[in-house]
Amino acid sequence: MNQPDSAAERSFLDDYDPRAFPPVAVAVDLVVLTIQHGQLCVLLVQRGTPPHLGRWALPGGFVGPDETLDAAARRELVEETGLDAGSHLEQLASYGDPARDQRMRVISVAYLALVADLPRPAAGTDAAEASFWPVVDRTGTGQPLAFDHDRILADALERARGKLEYTDLATTFLDEPFTIAELRRVYEAVWGVRLHPANFRRKVMSVPGLVVATGTERATGRGWAELYTRGHATRLHPPIPRPDDPGQ
């Protein structure tokens, strides 16, 4: 904790009363994306306590008084689902509309996590159930997510889709080694479009350091496919642009 720099600051802090201001809580929400059966899926929990009892929501909760934001995000994910966020966890944005939570003024810092493969989540603490849902389906009931989580999810999807163009984020979804076809299917699942296999391979191979050939192959049922691992490049140059039309 920072110490006051002067006697004047110490005097000011001695007289300072935080109760003179409206209470504000800080929370974290997590958008955990993965690919299952060729579909981009998001981790949702069914709320076991009010408000929004029984509604599906993103996992998350309040930040403890002695926690960093990152630590709170990882803790909440484990407590509500039994899962770890994996290697890719980044802050997405902050959400602070005054009426976003019925209990009090709550400012939420949202996180985006992308993982290659996860076991079945298990609900815990205030979550009645935890499950992966295809993003095109979301809740499976047609109801909106709790709080402003539909907005957070939409922002996270756009972030993930955009980052596939200029970073190595797509490889985060894959276990190594992988084929170029498996990498293409990641792009197709996240972007929601079909890509031309030959054009996609040409674009991937034109990016220095994106993938590294292992010199081995895997049987595909139709022949053999070369295997690759992640390269050293984290920023793609040239980028792999998201097509405006399917089939590109």
pTM of the model: 0.86
Q: For 23-56, give one letter per residue: b (16+ CB within 10 A) or e.
A: eeebbbbbbbbbbeeeebbbbbbbbeeeebeebb
Q: Give the DSSP H/E element, type plus range, for residue 213.
A: strand 211-219
CA distances for 25 relative to 40, 95, 104, 169, angstroms: 32, 12, 8, 32
Pairing of strands 24-36, 39-47: antiparallel
User: What pLDDT sits at residue 31?
Assistant: 95
DSSP alpha helix (H) spans, the chain: 7-15, 69-81, 149-166, 180-191, 197-205
pLDDT score for 71: 93
Q: Model confidence over 169-191: pLDDT tens digits? A: 999 889 899 999 999 999 999 99
Set 129, 165, 188, 226: catalytic member:
129
How does strand 56-57 pair with strand 39-47? antiparallel
Give the distance from CA 68 to its chain's centroid: 18
pLDDT of residue 221: 85
**Residue 118: per-residue pLDDT:** 66
pLDDT at 128 (0 to 100) = 65
Which residue in 171, 178, 161 sits closest to 218, CA to CA?
Answer: 178
Q: How big is the CA angle at 132 (ends 158 and 97), to the nearest 5 degrees?
A: 50
176 is catalytic: no
Residue 46 parent element (H or E): strand 39-47
Instruction: Give the residue ranges of the chain where pLDDT is below 50.
Output: 245-248
Say if CB 159 and CB 188 are below 8 A apart: no
For residue 151, which amino acid is it? Answer: R
Q: What is the pLDDT of residue 246?
A: 46
Residue 116: its pLDDT value, please?
A: 79
